Amino acid sequence: MSNRKKVWFEATEGKLDPGLVEQLRNSRKVNPSVSSNTEIPIIVYLKKTCDQDKKDDLLKACNFDSHNKLSKELHSINGVKGHLTPDTIKQIKDHEAVDRIFYDRIVTSFLDIASEQIGAVKVREQLNLTGKGVTIAVIDTGIHLHEDLTTPTNRIIAFHDFINGKTEPYDDNGHGTHCAGDAAGNGNLSNGKYTGPALEASIIGLKVLDEQGSGRLSTIIEGLEWCMDHKEEHNIRIISLSLGAPAYESFRDDPLSLAAQKAWHQGIVVCTAAGNSGPAAATISTPAINPFIITVGSADDLNTLDRTDDLIADYSSRGPTIDSLIKPDIYAPGTNIISLLAPGSAIESQLPEMIIDDNYIQLSGTSMATPICAGIIALMLEANPNLSPNDIKSILQTSSHPTLDDIWGYLEAVSAVEMAKNYQLQMPTEAVES
């Protein structure tokens, strides 16, 4: 048995999350004295009993030089984000305001036949539903003013840039634009060939990932909080999250999972990608590990309308989650999906062979399946605006087509929308006083 004495960050009784411990270990390898000026991005959970005086004392202890800064509040998780050196983390870990400290990990971004194959075209033709009046917030790399979103009317009703602070919509990576089209492209530049399910839904673009498609947990949380704060103003009913990070903590502790759960409980349907780490088991990412929100896996429709030959995509992450929960909750087409191209974006230069007809690009991943599912949900909410997030999830799973070799099935738009349209909210019977 080793007699090695544990260093301070290995003996904190859970005060530091495993990702932060690993970062501190790496820092120590570079500088054994652990006194370097290495800045580590962190999220501090505050204790529920923390009053303003204790919080102010914590901020004073952290904000004393350019290498230590703790300031931006994350109200949805009762936390604060910033960057601290290892020495400062050691000093404040037992502060009476601090509950736990997390490493602010990196998060990465993970339609021709698809819309017809899942029944979205039939919904438009038979039920005359297009997602009109429903707003989908796409939290991703930004959004390009593509004509399939702006003609005949501009359906991009808001944009917020958490990366570079720009005010006009743009997408220097291209992933977010593709996802917006997966949900709500109207096929204007393809004579209606490449359309998303909800071709009249309103779209909000929130840029939380940079040109390379990466960002921090805290920035995604800020995007979720923006949606909660502006829910009524923009009638935000759906959030589409085609991004994720490895899950090291229970959904009860993981910061991104908790923020997504908060949005769900505030009445916003949250759809998130399962991840692209399949076919290995137990590869569901965060925030997809959360049991409340809708985790979307990817199917391969083999570019045919026949559903009997469809398969779970090899790359689609599998459950169980880190908490041994069953995930994904639903599957949607995600392989070889043709959607909107953002000119001049990183994806355009990296994948020139995937460009279709100059204005579109073909991509695969649970990133594509997620906004397609969000588009179907927009149709459901147009049919019945009174549905709660729990109603939506229940209907999607109940109406799914059991063609895939998994506990949950394959999204089926016509059945889902018909069920949504006829869904009766069961109101609790009030007790009668005697």
Active-site amino acid positions: 140, 175, 367
In DSSP terms, which residues pair with 215 in a beta bridge? 107
Name 89's Cβ contacts closer than 8 Å, sequence gap at least 6: 9, 16, 20, 24, 40, 42, 101
Unique residue bearing structure tokens 């229940």: 394
Name 193's Cβ contacts closer than 8 Å, sequence gap at least 6: 112, 187
CA count, 13 A, side-chain hemisphere, 292: 19
Are 24 and 16 spatial neighbours (Cβ–Cβ below 8 Å)?
Answer: yes
C-alpha closest to that of 298 among 350, 378, 356, 369: 369
Question: Does an H or E element contain 31, and which?
Answer: none
Helix axes 366-383, 120-127, angle to 10 degrees: 20
Calculated CA dihedral for residues 91, 92, 94, 100, nearest 10 degrees: -130
Are 320 and 251 spatial neighbours (Cβ–Cβ below 8 Å)?
Answer: no
Collapsing DSSP to helix, strand or coil, 331 comes out as strand
Q: What are phi and psi of 377, to 5 degrees?
A: -65, -35
